[in-house]
């Protein structure tokens, strides 16, 4: 794809040489982790194609949409109410934050003990490696953790940042704050796009987002079959791609894939005979962070669910579609997003309940809790998660790591030992 898109990347201000080596590494990584799998679904060709054109065709589409006057809004968190963006005919994309890129540049303006995800989005921008970031008319930050909150202050020197305040408790006062923030965001998106959000376009956007959530729910139900019909890596990739491909196309393609999956389940075909069923829980894994799932699935286990923002935390709850007035719909959005059980909340008992329920429903033999180094909220909760799971008789392994490859051998030993233990 390189030659045909180079002019576009240059216009977007990317560092062409560094970007070319990033794509090369990514391509090799993808080949090793994804294309080496046997017996994949035909439907995964769509994902392979999207991934191969991750900085190519999709960027071209966004570029063309912008030329026609549409706006692009970039986000880093599942708290940003997408319905509002789509209702205003803008396009929302999740921004790259899953690769070790531009770390040296990022560490010039961030402390070294900052989580890999934050370093990554700052690094991608400073090193001029992410065409998505360069295309954004608005980048939405949020106050989920102190690291992100403060990083956005710095980041706003480099990109058009808008920050939403996320409450940290769930009392009525917090709901009022959150509603005020949703309304403020609505105004900001209307100002950006010059379009009013109406009951009509918001209803459509709610439908669009719910359809995308429903197809991911369908995928999650099907992947939990015995034997497991799709690798955890592939399912994670589908969740990751949901953040930046066109939602209509994505939903259609994943329904097709699910039809194929359904057929496979009916035939009783599995992808990992004799593998131990595990669930991942914790921090999000953004593209191309496939490190832990790959280690897990190379160690005699198969991942059947992700309790994560790139996973069920983003797809579990739908926005109620019963509202008829704009006010009712906005309230439904406020309520739906406030159900998110991010570790930034206190208390956050519902996350523990969701994890135990999910582990039982998926019939897993163990849970691997994934924390990014220096992510304090999830590191703190991992102790509670372990206790809740222990009380339910489900073993847990806590892993803390980042995007670098230096600890892969040690992680393998720990994951393999965990698999031996729960087998």
Partner 1 sequence: MAVIGIDIGSRSIERVVWDQATGAWTWDKVPTTFDPLTQCRKLLADADGCPVVATGYGRALVAEHFAELSVRTITEIQAYARGVHHLVPEARTVVDIGGQDTKVIALSPQGAVVKFEMNDRCAAGTGKFLEFMATSLQIPLDSFGDFALEADKQVAINSMCTVFAESEATSLMARGERPQNIAMALHRAIVRRTLAMLRRVGGESPVVFAGGVAHNRCVCRLLSEALGGDVIVPPDPDVLGALGAALAGAGP
Least Cβ distance, residue 22 to partner 1 (angstroms) = 25
Length of the chain: 423
Least Cβ distance, residue 404 to partner 1 (angstroms) = 10
Binding region for partner 1 (CB under 8 A) out of 15-23, 143-151, 210-218, 410-418? 410-418
Rg of the chain (C-alpha set) = 21
User: Is there a cis peptide before residue 260, judged by omega within 30 degrees of 0?
Assistant: no
Based on CB atoms, which residue is closest to partner 1, 294 or 345?
Answer: 294
Q: Does 405 bind partner 1 (CB under 8 A)?
A: no
Least Cβ distance, residue 423 to partner 1 (angstroms) = 10
Based on CB atoms, which residue is closest to partner 1, 187 or 410?
Answer: 410
Least Cβ distance, residue 400 to partner 1 (angstroms) = 7
Least Cβ distance, residue 226 to partner 1 (angstroms) = 24
Based on CB atoms, which residue is closest to partner 1, 207 or 300?
Answer: 300
Residue with tokens 């704050």: 177
Binding region for partner 1 (CB under 8 A) out of 53-61, 89-97, 333-341, 415-423? 415-423
Least Cβ distance, residue 420 to partner 1 (angstroms) = 5
Among 89, 137, 320, 407, binds partner 1 (CB under 8 A): 407
Distance CA 317, CA 310 (A): 14
SS3 138: strand
Which tokens go with 379? 């590191």
Least Cβ distance, residue 379 to partner 1 (angstroms) = 13
Distance CA 319, CA 81 (A): 10
Based on CB atoms, which residue is closest to partner 1, 78 or 115?
Answer: 115
Least Cβ distance, residue 114 to partner 1 (angstroms) = 18
Strand order in the sheet with 161-164: 91-94, 72-75, 138-142, 161-164
Least Cβ distance, residue 416 to partner 1 (angstroms) = 5
Distance CA 78, CA 206 (A): 15
Binding region for partner 1 (CB under 8 A) out of 32-40, 57-65, 212-220, 411-419? 411-419
Between the alpha carbon of residue 48 and those of residues 43, 53, 286, the distances in Å are: 9, 9, 16
Q: Does 245 bind partner 1 (CB under 8 A)?
A: no
SS3 157: coil
DSSP 43-74: THHHHHHHHHTTTTHHHHHHHHHHHTT--EEE
Which tokens go with 315? 């797809």
Based on CB atoms, which residue is closest to partner 1, 45 or 420?
Answer: 420
Q: What mask of x and - would describe binding to partner 1 in positions 365 to 404, judged by CB under 8 A?
A: ------------------------------x----x----
- How many residues touch partner 1 under the rule CB under 8 A: the total is 12
Least Cβ distance, residue 183 to partner 1 (angstroms) = 45
Q: Does 100 bind partner 1 (CB under 8 A)?
A: no
Question: Is 238:245 a contact under the CB 8 Å cutoff?
Answer: no
Q: Does 421 bind partner 1 (CB under 8 A)?
A: yes
Binding region for partner 1 (CB under 8 A) out of 12-20, 181-189, 325-333, 412-420? 412-420
Q: Does 417 bind partner 1 (CB under 8 A)?
A: yes
Helices (H), 283-348: 291-297, 312-315, 326-337
Nearest Cα residue to 73 out of 151, 190, 214, 198: 190
Near partner 1 in 9-48, by CB under 8 A: none
Nearest Cα residue to 81 out of 259, 210, 245: 210
Tell me the residue ranges of DSSP E strands in 132-199.
138-142, 161-164
Least Cβ distance, residue 297 to partner 1 (angstroms) = 16
Between the alpha carbon of residue 248 and those of residues 49, 57, 73, 103, 210, the distances in Å are: 17, 16, 17, 35, 11
Strand order in the sheet with 366-372: 301-307, 276-282, 366-372, 396-401
Binding region for partner 1 (CB under 8 A) out of 45-53, 190-198, 261-269, 413-421? 413-421
Q: By the criterion CB under 8 A, which residues form the site for partner 1?
A: 395, 400, 406-407, 409-410, 413-414, 416-417, 420-421
């Amino acid at each position: 794809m390189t030659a045909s898109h180079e002019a576009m990347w240059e216009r977007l201000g990317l560092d062409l040489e560094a970007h070319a080596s990033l794509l090369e590494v990514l391509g090799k990584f993808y080949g090793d982790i994804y294309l080496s799998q046997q017996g994949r679904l035909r439907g995964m060709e769509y994902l392979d194609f999207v991934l191969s054109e991750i900085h190519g065709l999709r960027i071209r589409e966004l570029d063309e949409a912008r030329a026609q006057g549409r706006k692009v809004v970039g986000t880093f968190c599942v708290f940003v109410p997408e319905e509002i963006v789509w209702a205003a005919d803008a396009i929302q994309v999740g921004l790259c934050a899953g690769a070790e890129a531009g770390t040296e540049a990022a560490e010039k303006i961030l402390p070294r003990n900052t989580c890999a995800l934050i370093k990554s989005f700052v690094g991608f921008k400073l090193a001029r490696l992410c065409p998505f970031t360069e295309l954004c008319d608005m980048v939405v930050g949020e106050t989920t953790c102190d690291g992100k909150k403060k990083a956005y202050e710095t980041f706003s020197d480099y990109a058009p940042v808008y920050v939403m305040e996320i409450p940290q408790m769930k009392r009525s006062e917090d709901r009022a704050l959150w509603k005020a923030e949703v309304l403020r965001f609505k105004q900001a998106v209307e100002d950006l796009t010059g379009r009013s959000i109406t009951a009509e376009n918001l209803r459509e956007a709610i439908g669009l987002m719910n359809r995308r959530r429903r197809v991911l729910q369908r995928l999650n139900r099907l992947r939990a079959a015995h034997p497991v019909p799709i690798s955890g890596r592939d399912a994670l990739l589908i969740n990751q791609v949901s953040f930046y491909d066109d939602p209509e196309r994505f939903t259609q393609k994943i329904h097709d894939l699910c039809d194929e999956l359904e057929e496979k389940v009916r035939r009783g075909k599995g992808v990992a005979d004799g593998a131990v069923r595990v669930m991942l829980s914790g921090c999000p894994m953004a593209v191309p962070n496939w490190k832990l799932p790959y280690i897990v699935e190379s160690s005699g286990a198969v991942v059947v669910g992700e309790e994560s923002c790139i996973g069920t935390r983003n797809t579990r709850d739908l926005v109620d579609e019963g509202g008829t007035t704009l006010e009712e719909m906005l309230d439904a959005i406020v309520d739906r997003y406030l159900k998110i059980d991010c570790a930034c909340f206190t208390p956050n008992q519902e996350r523990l309940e969701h994890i135990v329920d999910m582990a039982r429903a998926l019939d897993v033999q163990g849970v691997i809790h994934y924390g990014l180094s220096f992510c304090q909220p999830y590191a703190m909760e991992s102790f509670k998660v372990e206790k809740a799971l222990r009380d339910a008789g489900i073993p847990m392994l806590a892993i803390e790591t980042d995007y670098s490859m230096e600890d892969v051998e040690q992680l393998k030993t720990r994951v393999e030992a965990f698999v031996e233990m729960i087998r």
